[in-house]
Amino acid sequence: MKHSSSPASMMVLCFLFSCAGFLRAQDDLQFNVPYACNDGATYVVHKCVTGPKGEMCYYQAEGESERYNKREAVVYQMTKMCKVKGGASAAAPGAQSSSELQLNTPYQCAGDLTLTAFQCQKQNGQEYCFVKAEQNGKFLMQVPKPRAEIVTQLKACKAGTAFDPAYLAEFPRASYVVQAMVIGTPKDNVTRAMGALYQLTEIINVLSAQRGASGYSPDEKELLDSYSKMQAALAQAAAQKLPGQQFNVATNPYHYSRTDPKFGFEGIPVWTTFLSPGLQARFAQTVGGNDARYSAAVEGERRTAMQQLQTNAAIAQSEQNARKDPGSVATRRCLESGRSETECLGEGMKVGLADLAGGGSPLAAVVATNQDPGLRLTGVYSAGNFHLRFDQSTAAVTCGSLLEVQLPYLVERSANQLLVKVPIQPKPLVLSFKPDGKLSGPGPIDVAGRVVTGRATDTTSTTYDTQTQTTTTQRQIGANDAPNYSADQVHRNGMEYSVDEQTTSSTTVPTTVHHYSVPTAPKTERCNVGVLPPVAATSSISSTMTQVLGSQASKSANTAPGLRLNGTYAVAGGLKIEFRDDSATLECNTALSSEGYAVVPEGSQLVVKFQHSTGPLSLILQPNGSLTGSGSVDVNGRKIYRSQSGEIAYTPQNARCTLGTLTPTK
């Protein structure tokens, strides 16, 4: 949850996280006069001094050493929680004067803030209560705090009318229920909100019946009516915005029976989002009675929900501390998709290096990923003395004794044929890709290239490097000069003082550089390019390093020779796919999943088939280069975060996206 820097928001933060003050009140601070404060101590403010961190005020409690804090904090404490001895209290007019806390009662505080304390219990010898904070009717947060601290901090607030019955103090307003359920698509948001309103209604029904009353109290009826009206409004709005979709409470996926252990936990964590553990236990006891199996199942759901809360907090902390440079972001996204650690490290370094070099530099062009969309090949195709090795960017050509040369290539659709074009010399090579996965060429061809004509030679040249040396000496100083130096610089020997001084000098030294070269000469050889079957997969540095280092491999990849795609394809508001030679990353909202895939000819069509973990997924590659599919797809990814023990951990991150026409982008 993000907080603005408004005075009211600062007050919320300070109340819930024990800050000393929260806003710059009217400055009635008095100096060198005794302030009697709520903690029983007497304070005196001595002075305020403006420094690099703002205005700081120095104050002292009787019998203690002097302390300091920002002026705003000291002003708040002295004028709101203390009073000048012999003067009137500085509490706000109408403030609660009783020292006893009124539970289940909304307190109206400054900044349109409403605080409600409920359900107190002792822990480790100290009494804690839950406090719910709302601002302008909007739920902010709910936390446990020591009862004594709550009593002190509510002194400046005015108590309202207690809820009847008391348990209603915990329940959120209908508008906040809707807001808290917004995490996905409009359809998912409406479904979650209607499910949460249903479950909250059921909880009130159970607790109301437990009271043994003849009917609902006025407060219960008012809250239930607001939940019902909000459900109807959601269904009506959804019918207009999402025509053809059904939003019925009875068919809602979160319409669990009140006796189902998943109630309030699974999918929409109503208990952990809105209500206290005590109220949840009370509900479970009423519904389940002495059923041990039900109690055990509910406890399991509760533990899972609490672990998820802790995970969410760790994720939020990790995201706040995460590095935002392009290389780190690319590495994080790669790991979340399920690709190998080695591959992701390499991708992060590549993106970071390109960003460091700048978009228009030659270095950036070298390290940048080939993003031209379209058909590609992968694998090694060979027959006789002719070999072709394909990756996403180039085709490596070897003919007889000629040195291997890497050239750009194209895979084009022509009528019902797939043509592979490689610009060799003296005449470009055109092959056809056959349904059985082989390449068919024109037969004997001439290939121009270079051959080695001798042994490698070593030549040398001389360059000059600058080396820097630092020398430390001691210089005597007078005793009156000693305070001008830091304590670690000054050495004392009896009545003599000396300090360390460092002198830096540079020298230039010659360095021999070796240059190795292999003599070559042009040559044209003749090779027979007939039928070239796939004989091996194209090896990658990342997969080799993964095996050598023993790091975790990609969760799904297809390294078999065959047709592939390159580039990024997306449908507006739906799925996004980034293709590589061995896998494709499916992106849906914040969920990323790396999946193996292949492009398979089926009749006159080219079908992109994914090794999809959540079920079959196929898309049709259209002649215009777009991909088409119907329905929706579930993307099961994971979120990376640093656990409480400091280790890297993952938590599931799932989403559903619509398909349609995915067009290539650069």
Q: Tell me the per-residue pLDDT of 517-527, one tens digit each, with 9 for 90 and over.
A: 889 999 999 99
208, 139: one domain: no
Return the pLDDT at 616. Answer: 83
Residues 6 or more apart from 483 whose CB is under 8 A from it?
Answer: none
598, 618: one domain: yes
575 vs 564: CA distance, rounded Å: 19
- Identify whether the C-beta of residue 118 lies closer than 8 Å to the C-beta of residue 175: no
- Rounding to the nearest 10 degrees, give the CA dihedral for residues 289, 294, 295, 298: -130
- Identify whether the C-beta of residue 44 lies closer than 8 Å to the C-beta of residue 35: yes
- Identify whether the C-beta of residue 559 lies closer than 8 Å to the C-beta of residue 348: no
585 vs 568: CA distance, rounded Å: 9
In 3D space, the residue among 568, 617, 615 whose CA is nearest the CA of residue 597 turns out to be 617
| In the predicted structure, residue 348 carries a pLDDT above the cut 90 | no
Return the pLDDT at 8. Answer: 35
173 vs 397: CA distance, rounded Å: 70
The boundaries of the domain holding residue 592 are 539-665
What b/e string do you get for 202-233 counting C-beta neighbours within 10 Å, with b at 16 or more? bbbeebbeeeeeeebeebbeebbeebeebbee
Q: Which residue would you say has higher pLDDT here, 421 or 544?
A: 421
386, 528: one domain: yes
Positive/negative CA dihedral, 86, 87, 92, 97: positive
| In the predicted structure, residue 141 carries a pLDDT above the cut 50 | yes
**Which range, of 48-57, 73-82, 476-485, 527-536, averages the lowest pLDDT?**
48-57
148, 34: one domain: yes
pLDDT digits 0-9 by tens, 589-606? 889 999 999 999 988 899
pLDDT digits 0-9 by tens, 247-272? 888 889 999 999 999 999 998 889 98
Q: Which residue would you say has higher pLDDT here, 553 or 410?
A: 410
Return the pLDDT at 365. Answer: 47
Return the pLDDT at 578. Answer: 94
| In the predicted structure, residue 610 carries a pLDDT above the cut 60 | yes
Query: Could you tell me how far CA 399 lies from the centroid of its own chain?
Result: 50
16, 133: one domain: yes
30, 145: one domain: yes
For helices 326-337 and 341-357, angle between their N-to-C axes, nearest 10 degrees = 160
**Which range, of 46-50, 424-428, 649-653, averages the lowest pLDDT?**
46-50
| In the predicted structure, residue 15 carries a pLDDT above the cut 50 | no
- Looking at 275, 302, 318, which one is the last position of a domain? 318
Bond before 165 cis per omega within 30 degrees: yes
Tell me whether residue 510 is in a domain: yes
pLDDT (average), residues 611-619:
83
3-state helix, strand, coil split of the chain in percent (to 5) is 30, 40, 35
Q: How confident is the model at residue 409 (pLDDT cuts 50, 70, 90)?
A: very high
196, 179: one domain: yes
DSSP 141-163: EEEEEEHHHHHHHTTTSEE-PPP
H or E element at residue 345 = helix 341-357
34 vs 57: CA distance, rounded Å: 15
- The structure tokens listed for 25 are 């009140």
| DSSP three-state, residue 213 | coil
Q: How confident is the model at residue 4 (pLDDT cuts 50, 70, 90)?
A: very low
Q: Which residue would you say has higher pLDDT here, 71 or 444?
A: 444
| In the predicted structure, residue 13 carries a pLDDT above the cut 50 | no
363 vs 376: CA distance, rounded Å: 24
653 vs 335: CA distance, rounded Å: 13
Q: How buried is residue 70: exposed, middle or buried, by Cβ count under 10 Å (0-12/13-18/19+)?
A: middle
pLDDT (average), residues 393-404:
95
pLDDT digits 0-9 by tens, 356-387? 545 554 444 444 445 689 999 999 999 999 99
pLDDT (average), residues 299-313:
84
388, 416: one domain: yes
Mark out the alpha helices in 98-185 (DSSP H runs).
147-153, 174-180
- Identify whether the C-beta of residue 336 lies closer than 8 Å to the C-beta of residue 592: yes
User: CA neighbours within 13 Å on the CB side: how many for 455?
Assistant: 3
Return the pLDDT at 54. Answer: 66
| In the predicted structure, residue 25 carries a pLDDT above the cut 90 | no
Q: What is the DSSP letter of 101?
A: -
pLDDT > 70: what percent of the chain? 88
Q: How confident is the model at residue 540 (pLDDT cuts 50, 70, 90)?
A: low
Query: Could you tell me how far CA 107 lies from the centroid of its own chain?
Result: 36
Return the pLDDT at 358. Answer: 54
Return the pLDDT at 89. Answer: 40
135 vs 91: CA distance, rounded Å: 21
- Identify whether the C-beta of residue 556 lies closer than 8 Å to the C-beta of residue 547: no
Return the pLDDT at 289. Answer: 87
Give the chain's mean pLDDT: 83
265, 152: one domain: no
Residues 6 or more apart from 188 whose CB is under 8 A from it?
Answer: 656
| In the predicted structure, residue 5 carries a pLDDT above the cut 80 | no
When computed from its CA atoms, the radius of gyration of the chain, rounded to whole angstroms, is 36
**Which range, of 27-31, 32-36, 230-234, averages the lowest pLDDT?**
27-31
| In the predicted structure, residue 94 carries a pLDDT above the cut 50 | no
Return the pLDDT at 320. Answer: 76
- The structure tokens listed for 170 are 């915990």
Q: How buried is residue 194: exposed, middle or buried, by Cβ count under 10 Å (0-12/13-18/19+)?
A: buried
Q: What is the pTM of this model?
A: 0.60
Return the pLDDT at 88. Answer: 42
Q: How confident is the model at residue 650 (pLDDT cuts 50, 70, 90)?
A: confident
Return the pLDDT at 36. Answer: 85
- Identify whether the C-beta of residue 529 lies closer than 8 Å to the C-beta of residue 438: no
Tell me whether residue 359 is in a domain: no
Query: Could you tell me how far CA 567 lies from the centroid of its own chain?
Result: 24
Return the pLDDT at 344. Answer: 83
| In the predicted structure, residue 19 carries a pLDDT above the cut 50 | no
| In the predicted structure, residue 404 carries a pLDDT above the cut 80 | yes
Tell me whether residue 387 is in a domain: yes
98 vs 92: CA distance, rounded Å: 14
- Looking at 160, 191, 226, which one is the last position of a domain? 160
Tell me whether residue 324 is in a domain: no
Q: Which residue would you say has higher pLDDT here, 482 or 181?
A: 181
pLDDT (average), residues 129-155:
83
Tell me whether residue 332 is in a domain: no
pLDDT (average), residues 327-355:
79
Q: Which residue would you say has higher pLDDT here, 282 or 27?
A: 282
Return the pLDDT at 92. Answer: 38
Query: Could you tell me how far CA 135 lies from the centroid of its own chain?
Result: 28
Tell me whether residue 181 is in a domain: yes
Give the distance between the most distant pair of CA atoms in the chain.
111
Residues 6 or more apart from 386 whose CB is under 8 A from it?
Answer: 398, 399, 400, 447, 527, 528, 529, 532
| In the predicted structure, residue 53 carries a pLDDT above the cut 50 | yes
Tell me whether residue 88 is in a domain: yes
22, 128: one domain: yes
In 3D space, the residue among 230, 256, 234 whose CA is nearest the CA of residue 245 turns out to be 234
Residues 6 or more apart from 529 whose CB is under 8 A from it?
Answer: 383, 386, 429, 431, 441, 442, 443, 444, 445
549, 649: one domain: yes
Residue 652 CB neighbours (<10 A) = 11
**Which range, of 12-21, 76-85, 311-320, 547-556, averages the lowest pLDDT?**
12-21
Rounded to 5°, angle at Cα 507 from 503 and 511: 145
Q: How many residues make up the chain in this entry?
A: 666
pLDDT (average), residues 434-446:
94
pLDDT (average), residues 380-395:
94
| In the predicted structure, residue 221 carries a pLDDT above the cut 90 | yes
For the ranges 181-185, 347-351, 504-508, the maximum mean pLDDT occurs at 504-508
Q: How confident is the model at residue 93 (pLDDT cuts 50, 70, 90)?
A: very low
In the chain, how many domains are there? 5
Q: Which residue would you say has higher pLDDT here, 534 or 347?
A: 534
Tell me whether residue 166 is in a domain: no
Q: What is the DSSP letter of 385?
A: T
347 vs 339: CA distance, rounded Å: 11
For residue 36, what are the β-bridge partners? Answer: 42, 83
| In the predicted structure, residue 541 carries a pLDDT above the cut 60 | no
How far apart are the two ends of the chain, measured CA to CA in Å? 34
User: CA neighbours within 13 Å on the CB side: how many for 72?
Assistant: 12
User: CA neighbours within 13 Å on the CB side: how many for 71?
Assistant: 17
pLDDT digits 0-9 by tens, 555-574? 788 889 999 999 999 998 78
70, 209: one domain: no
Positive/negative CA dihedral, 171, 177, 179, 183: positive
pLDDT (average), residues 476-498:
79
